[in-house]
Amino acid sequence: MDYNELKKIIKRLEGNDPSLTTLELDNNTIGNIGAQVLIEALDTNKTLTTLYLDSNNIGDIGAQALAKALKTNTTLTRLWLGYNNIGYDGAQALSEALKKNTTLTELYLTLNKIGDDGAQALAEALKKNTTLTRLWLGYNSIGDAGAKAIAKALETNTTILKTNTTLTELSLTFNDISKSLMNQIQQKINRNTELKNGK
């Protein structure tokens, strides 16, 4: 995608084009600078609900810019950020955004580099976030330390604000997590699904 094409998209986002509800920008060489420019338009956009940014090499800087926009954006519900070289700093920024965001329901972070520290940061967000229902973290070099933090975030607690009961789909495939811990996490996800279905 060249700069002129990106400018046209940004103009549509800034103008709240009602026909622009889904934006598919997978496999473009946007990079972190292009991502920052694009994401600035999300601050005021009220129409976009789905954004695909897989395979754009936005890195931590792009993820941090996106996280800033997520703190104020009230329409985006689905966000795809797979294969973007996002590490701990990006995951930490997204975690802080998820603590404030009340509209995002799906976040896809497969094939990044968030590791245990990034997973632990996201787990903190799960304790406060009440809207996220799908979180994909496969292929992220997450081990038991990160998985334990996620499991703890999904535990039943007497204070509902400190417990996640909304997440019903969590992908942790191709990480380095023990089978017993994966079973614990699956039980907690099953519980959330039952709560959602009123069982």
Per residue in 121-175, pLDDT (tens digit) is 999 999 888 899 999 999 999 999 999 999 999 874 333 334 677 888 999 999 9
- The conformational region for residue 139 under phi > 0 = left, psi -120 to 50 = alpha, else beta, is left
Asked if pLDDT for residue 1 goes beyond 90, the answer is no
Q: Tell me, what's the pLDDT at 156? A: 45
Q: Which two structure tokens, joined as six digits, stand for 195?
A: 């709560």
CB 144 within 8 A of CB 138: no
Alpha-carbon distance of 186 to 168, in angstroms, equals 10
Alpha-carbon distance of 14 to 42, in angstroms, equals 8
Q: Tell me, what's the pLDDT at 91? A: 98
Asked if pLDDT for residue 53 goes beyond 90, the answer is yes
Q: Tell me, what's the pLDDT at 199? A: 59
Mean pLDDT of 2-17: 91
Q: How confident is the model at residue 189 (pLDDT cuts 50, 70, 90)?
A: confident
Contacts of 93 (CB under 8 A, 6+ apart): 60, 63, 64, 67, 68
Alpha-carbon distance of 83 to 25, in angstroms, equals 13
Asked if pLDDT for residue 26 goes beyond 90, the answer is yes
Q: Coil, strand or helix: which one is 39?
A: helix
Q: Give the containing element (helix H, strand E) for 52.
A: strand 50-52
Q: Tell me, what's the pLDDT at 193? A: 74
- Closest of 153, 143, 132, 130 to residue 176, by C-alpha: 143
- Domain residue spans of the chain: 3-196
Asked if pLDDT for residue 8 goes beyond 90, the answer is yes
Tell me: the pLDDT tens digits for 58-115?
999 999 999 999 999 999 999 999 999 999 999 999 999 999 999 999 999 999 999 9
Distances in Å between the alpha carbon of 157 and those of 38, 70, 151, 198? 39, 27, 12, 18
CATH superfamily of 3-196: Ribonuclease Inhibitor (3.80.10.10)
Q: Tell me, what's the pLDDT at 110? A: 98
CB 16 within 8 A of CB 47: yes
Alpha-carbon distance of 106 to 185, in angstroms, equals 18
Please state the separation of Cα 78 from the chain's center in Å. Answer: 8
Q: Which two structure tokens, joined as six digits, stand for 188?
A: 């907690």
